[in-house]
Each structure stands twice: as C-alpha cells, then as structure tokens.
Homo-oligomer: A and B are copies of this chain.
Amino acid sequence: MKIGILGTGIVGQTIGSKLIHLGNEVMLGARTDNNEKAIEWTKQNGAKASHGTFAQSAAFGNILFNCTSGTASLAALNLAGKENLNGKILIDVANPLDFSKGMPPTLSICNTDSLGEQIQKLFTELKVVKALNTMNCKLMVEPSLLKSDHDVFMCGNNEDAKSEVALMLKEWFGWKTVIDLGDITAARGMEMILPLWLRLMGTLKTPTFNFKIVR
C-alpha cells in the first residue's frame, strides 16, 4: 500500500519504518522537500522510502497519518491541500501539546473542542480517524513490547474508515483490541488523557507503558 506520513519527527519516522518493514511504500512529508530528518530517514529505509512536501506526501498516500506537532497540524494540512486530502483516511496521531509556556506542556485546545474535531471541521471530505495518540510511538507499532494486553482507542465520524483503521492496527501492528469510542468528538477525551500520561511517564521513569481498560 502507498502511505503518506505528514511529519518527520520520531513518531512519523517510527510509524514509517514499521510500515516499510511490512512491505508498504511510504513518503514522509514536511514543510519543504529538503527536510534533513526526512532525507536521513529515506536513506536509512531503502527503496520503498521517499520524502517530499506535505502536498506531495498527501498526494502519494492512499492512507495518511498526521504525525505533525498538534499545534502545527492545521497549517500542515492546509499546505497538504484539500485536493490531495479529500476522500482519504487520515489517522490523526497528533496531540495539541503547547510547550510555549514551559513544562509540563498544556493543551492548546481541550474540553469543548479537540484537534481531531478541528481537522474534521476544516476538511469535511477527509475521513479523520483519531487513534494511537495515547501511547509512546514504539508501542504504537509494537504493542507486544509490553508483556500483558493493553488498549488503543479510536474515534471518527466515518464507520467504514474506522473499520479499515481497526483492521490495519490489528494486521500491521498486532493490536488485539481497538476500542471504538464513537464519533470524532471523543477526540476530546483521547487528547485530554495526555497530562496524565506525561505525569505517569515522570513517575514511572519510562515512556513504555500504556492504559488498559479493565472490565
């Protein structure tokens, strides 16, 4: 499959490398087509790896991942362009973390709105599925790194898109359960878990942990 990943940070790189390892073609997208991190990643990931602008990456992918910083996501998607986004599934992994006021970061959007909703509102023809934003990127693509089961949440307005994403999360990454929280407004809760996640990382002194819903 051809996959476009918006964002060249550790999250985009980790997801991209895993997808290439699974046999997919991946193009990382950045603001410019000479992004150093993207060039280096492309070198290291063989013939199926490429990089380009946000627009090129969005045009390339049949499925898209938003791995940009949450506070830069809308600008990145605007650069990607509606013509390259419309009709596609965007797996929104981003969190609206605002580091501008010091540590710990606060959320730039929350409570009555969310980044997932803002993206969906701005790009009505894009099938936004919020997922994977509640854990470290190594666990996103390799949940078996933890010995016992844990959960990934998902939400979005398009039922078919969610079914497809749930299947990909299981087949690509090995997730056993994907909890569908309903429409895209559930992105509020998924993003608002970040302050607890950050605090837990400090307490446990590792990013390698995740939430499990025990019933």
List residues of A whose CB falls within 8 A of some B CB.
106-107, 110-112, 146, 148-150, 153, 179-182, 186, 188-190, 192-193, 195-200, 202-204, 206, 208-215
For A151, give the chain B residue with the smallest CB separation: B214
CA distance A182 to B149 in the complex (A): 27
Q: Which residues from B are CB-within-8-Å of A204?
A: 213, 215
Complex contact A200–B214 (CB within 8 A): no
Copies of this chain in its oligomeric complex: 2
Contact A211 to B209, CB < 8 A, known contacts A111-B107, A195-B192, A203-B181: no
Q: Which residues from B are CB-within-8-Å of A146?
A: 214-215
The residue from B106, B150, B181, B202 contacting A200, defined by CB atoms under 8 A apart: B181
The residue from B112, B180, B210, B213 contacting A209, defined by CB atoms under 8 A apart: B213
CB distance from A107 to the nearest CB of B (A): 5
The residue from B153, B200, B215 contacting A213, defined by CB atoms under 8 A apart: B200
CA distance A153 to B204 in the complex (A): 12
**Other contacts beyond A189-B198, A210-B213: 6, CB < 8 A:** A111-B111, A181-B203, A189-B193, A189-B195, A209-B213, A212-B213
